[in-house]
């Protein structure tokens, strides 16, 4: 039975129904909500008693005021052409920072729902696919079961002839006398075979103080250590001995480095037995480990590498020491303001938490201010690889909430303004073992600029570019977007529900951060955050009217610019076909938000920034058209796209148009394609393509402002 509902007549909509009529009621779905089904009642109630084939439709309306469905990810508006509320899903509002867990979806009536995890498998038995969260993309590698870096020769001829044994491959050396074709050339134990020296712990090579060169060429995996290279099963190791001379105990450091392959180094007192390992370190292509207060005698060194490699091994004898006791807040080493001091980070234990994360442990130091002062702390590595990570804390420094400031870059100092008299704790950490020099400087206190506090933040102009100088700024605004970066806050009042895109630009050699916060600027108040190389973009669609803060952070505390693109909130426009310029969807002159999917489109156009190996016309593409009546600055952003998108803008009116310098962009990793162009009046074609034949769903945000 079909129903006619009186409010629709009042809205100016007339429905004529009769039994046997072939005219379908547009408000009734394939089945009446009362006909049953587990969710039919709930579905009908959400839509004012209607069950629709179109789940985005809601209750009758005359204006937008009755169309709030209380679901944050939908764009709610009254579709006055039919007198019904329309709740358009915006999937980008559901997106989390992770890629491999799939694309979150906004489902009408339900809200944000988890997406299907990204699957990178295919039907090719010779490839192994996996999702790389760091690069935000699928990676497919030739099958390499044993992890030796050489693909199975059944998939890649003349490569690994035994993909079950990591010591056998086409890149391995032929080992003498083992009756195995180690290098997969079809010959066993040929005349140019090699024998690794020191491959057995029972037959080590002799090492001397200073530099030594050892080789894992032709070695097999014979030992193990508490630290090792990333794929231990594919490791090669050799053993050596050194002797601590008579005359008392000595500290011994082993430095081991290669020209690229990963290396680990361990100092042992014997080949086997409990407690035989005295120290161990793995730090990538180099390692540094220290055994403290070794008595005179002979000791072993185990060097393991990821595959075969030549290793420079340096043995250093030092005065005997015990492990530093200044590893906690309760036992810091006293230091003086203005007097440099040395820090050796080699075996410190991680005890503290910091906003500036460090893989290695930290040492703690205490200093005292006798007067209110500005404090700058400088740290620089003198040996080793990496950067000292500084953390300034209150004396009771066990919690991260006790941390005042942190810094992980040596380009500028850790800066804290107007610290009151008293004692403070400085912890020094790093990602890798290193030696560093640290200096604490105090100077007369200065007043903080207005933009160092969200409470006094100056007003930021909308749809204009503002230059910001972050020199002499602290990391004072703790909204959790960046850690250790000098930052500044600006206020921005939104008069109506708006779409906002913040674009920050920094020096090309560094990273920066942009965030949009509620006025308190706390982690819980943060609405959007993006940290990357320049340009940095942070987007919020459907931002309610109100007072907000824009926070800029710059790694080196230099000059940056910020442009807040702001426009009244617009509903998403679905691009279904739009396969050629002739059928291109038009972008309004004021911009818009568009969603589409190139999966079922055709490949029609070539693009200059695509992979040079792709065939003519490349991947499937879709086209939009923008007509400008006057010169404008136009920002195009493809955040939220599910693949590696290629975005190009060309000048019409002929299709596909003339190439514009700098108007083709590929969005690798998590940073999807973005163009910020100043365009003269005219017709432009906007191409959504995929890099290297990639395809999928996309979301295009277009903001247009005066140049």
Cross-strand partners of 87: 76
Percentages (nearest 5) of helix, strand, coil residues in the chain: 5, 40, 55
Neighbour tally for 96: CB within 10 Å: 12
CATH code: domain 450-565 is: 2.60.120.380
Q: Report whether 126 contacts 675 (CB < 8 A).
A: no
pLDDT-based confidence at residue 138 (cuts at 50, 70, 90): confident
- The pLDDT tens digits of the residues spanning 620-634 come to 999 999 999 999 999
Planar angle of CA 581, 582, 583, nearest 5 degrees:
90
Q: Report whether 77 contacts 571 (CB < 8 A).
A: yes
Cross-strand partners of 704: 634
The pLDDT of residue 29 is 36
DSSP state of 450: G
Cross-strand partners of 501: 539, 565
User: The pTM is what?
Assistant: 0.79
Q: Report the pLDDT averaged over residues 510-523.
A: 93
The pLDDT of residue 509 is 66
Cα–Cα distance for residue pair 448/429, rounded to 1 Å? 28
pLDDT-based confidence at residue 52 (cuts at 50, 70, 90): low
The pLDDT of residue 601 is 92
Cα–Cα distance for residue pair 393/409, rounded to 1 Å? 18
- The pLDDT tens digits of the residues spanning 553-611 come to 999 889 999 999 999 999 899 898 899 999 999 999 999 999 999 999 999 998 889 88
pLDDT exceeds cutoff 60 at 49: no
- The pLDDT tens digits of the residues spanning 370-414 come to 999 999 999 999 998 889 999 999 998 878 889 999 998 777 899
pLDDT exceeds cutoff 50 at 43: no
DSSP H/E element including 43? helix 40-46
The pLDDT of residue 37 is 40
Residue ranges of alpha helices (H) inside 462-519 are none
* Domain over 205-318 is classified CATH 2.60.120.380: yes
Q: Where in the chain is the domain with CATH 2.60.120.380?
A: 205-318, 333-443, 450-565, 573-705
Cross-strand partners of 461: none
- 668-690 exposure pattern, b = at least 16 Cβ within 10 A, e = fewer: eebbbbbbbeebeeebbbbbbbb
- The pLDDT tens digits of the residues spanning 251-292 come to 999 999 999 899 999 999 999 887 899 999 998 898 999 999
DSSP state of 9: H
Which residues fall within 8 angstroms of residue 159, CB to CB, at 6 or more apart? 150, 151, 152, 153, 169, 170, 184
Cα–Cα distance for residue pair 275/269, rounded to 1 Å? 8
Give the fold, CATH level 3, of 573-705.
Jelly Rolls (2.60.120)
pLDDT-based confidence at residue 667 (cuts at 50, 70, 90): confident
Give the fold, CATH level 3, of 333-443.
Jelly Rolls (2.60.120)
Question: What is the residue-averaged pLDDT of the chain?
Answer: 88
Q: Report whether 81 contacts 12 (CB < 8 A).
A: no
């Amino acid at each position: 039975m079909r129903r006619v509902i009186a409010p629709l007549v009042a809205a100016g909509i007339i429905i004529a129904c009769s039994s046997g009529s072939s005219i379908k009621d547009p408000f009734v779905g394939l089945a009446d909500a009362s006909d049953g089904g587990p969710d039919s009642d709930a579905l009908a109630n959400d839509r004012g008693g209607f069950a629709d084939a179109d789940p985005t439709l809601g209750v009758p309306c005359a204006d937008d005021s009755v169309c709030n469905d209380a679901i944050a990810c939908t764009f709610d508006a009254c579709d006055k052409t039919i007198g019904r509320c329309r709740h358009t899903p915006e999937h980008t509002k559901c997106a989390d920072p992770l890629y491999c867990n799939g694309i979150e979806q906004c489902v009408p009536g339900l809200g944000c729902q988890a997406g299907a995890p990204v699957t990178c498998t295919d039907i090719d038995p010779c490839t192994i696919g996996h999702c790389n969260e760091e690069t935000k993309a699928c990676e497919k590698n030739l099958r390499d079961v044993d992890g030796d870096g050489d693909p199975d020769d059944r998939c890649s001829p003349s490569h690994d002839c035994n993909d079950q044994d990591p010591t056998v491959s086409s890149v391995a050396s032929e080992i003498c006398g083992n009756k195995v074709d180690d290098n997969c050339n079809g010959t066993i134990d040929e005349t140019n075979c090699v024998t690794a020296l020191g491959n057995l712990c029972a037959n080590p090579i002799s090492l001397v103080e200073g530099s030594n060169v050892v080789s894992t060429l032709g070695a097999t995996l014979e030992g193990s250590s508490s630290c090792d290279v990333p794929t231990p099963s594919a490791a090669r190791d050799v053993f050596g001995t050194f002797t601590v001379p008579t005359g008392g105990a000595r500290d011994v450091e082993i430095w081991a480095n290669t020209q690229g392959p990963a290396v680990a180094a361990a100092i042992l007192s014997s080949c086997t037995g409990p407690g035989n390992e005295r120290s161990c370190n793995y730090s990538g292509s180099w390692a540094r480990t220290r055994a403290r207060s070794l008595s005179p005698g002979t000791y072993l060194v185990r060097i393991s590498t990821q595959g075969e490699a030549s290793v420079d091994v340096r043995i250093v004898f030092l005065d005997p020491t015990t492990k530093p006791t200044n590893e906690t807040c309760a036992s810091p080493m006293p230091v003086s303001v203005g007097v440099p001091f040395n820090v050796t980070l080699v075996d410190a234990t991680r005890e503290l938490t910091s906003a500036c994360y460090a893989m290695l442990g930290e040492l703690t130091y205490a200093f005292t201010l006798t007067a209110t002062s500005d404090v700058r702390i400088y740290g620089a590595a003198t040996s080793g690889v990496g950067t000292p990570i500084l953390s300034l804390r209150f004396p009771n420094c066990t919690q991260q909430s006790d941390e005042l400031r942190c810094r992980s870059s040596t380009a500028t100092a850790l800066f804290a303004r107007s610290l009151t008299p008293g004692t403070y704790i400085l912890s020094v950490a790093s990602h890798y073992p290193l030696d560093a020099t640290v200096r604490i400087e105090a100077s007369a206190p200065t007043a903080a600029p207005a933009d160092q506090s969200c409470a006094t933040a100056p007003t930021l102009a909308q749809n204009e570019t503002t230059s910001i100088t972050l020199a002499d700024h602290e990391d004072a605004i703790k909204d959790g977007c960046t850690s250790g970066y000098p930052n500044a806050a600006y206020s921005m009042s939104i008069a109506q529900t708006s779409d906002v895109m913040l674009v920050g630009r920094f020096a090309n050699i560094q990273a920066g951060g942009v965030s949009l916060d509620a006025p308190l600027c706390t982690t819980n108040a943060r609405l959007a955050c993006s940290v990357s190389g320049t340009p940095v973009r942070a987007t919020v669609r459907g931002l309610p009217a109100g007072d907000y803060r824009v926070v800029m952070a710059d790694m080196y505390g230099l000059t940056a610019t910020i442009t807040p693109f702001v426009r009244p909130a617009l509903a998403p426009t679905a691009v279904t076909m739009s396969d050629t310029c002739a059928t291109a969807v038009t972008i309004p002159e004021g911009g818009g938000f568009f969603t589409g999917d190139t999966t079922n489109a055709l490949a029609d156009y070539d693009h200059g920034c695509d992979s040079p190996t792709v065939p003519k016309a490349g991947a499937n593409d879709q086209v939009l058209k923008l007509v400008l009546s006057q010169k404008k600055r136009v920002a195009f952003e493809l955040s939220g796209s599910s693949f590696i998108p290629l975005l190009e803008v060309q000048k019409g009116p002929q299709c596909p148009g003339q190439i514009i310098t700098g108007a083709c962009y590929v969005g690798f990793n998590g940073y999807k394609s973005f163009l910020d162009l100043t365009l003269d009046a005219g017709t432009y074609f906007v191409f959504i393509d995929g890099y290297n034949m990639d395809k999928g769903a996309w979301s295009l945000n277009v903001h247009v402002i005066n140049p």
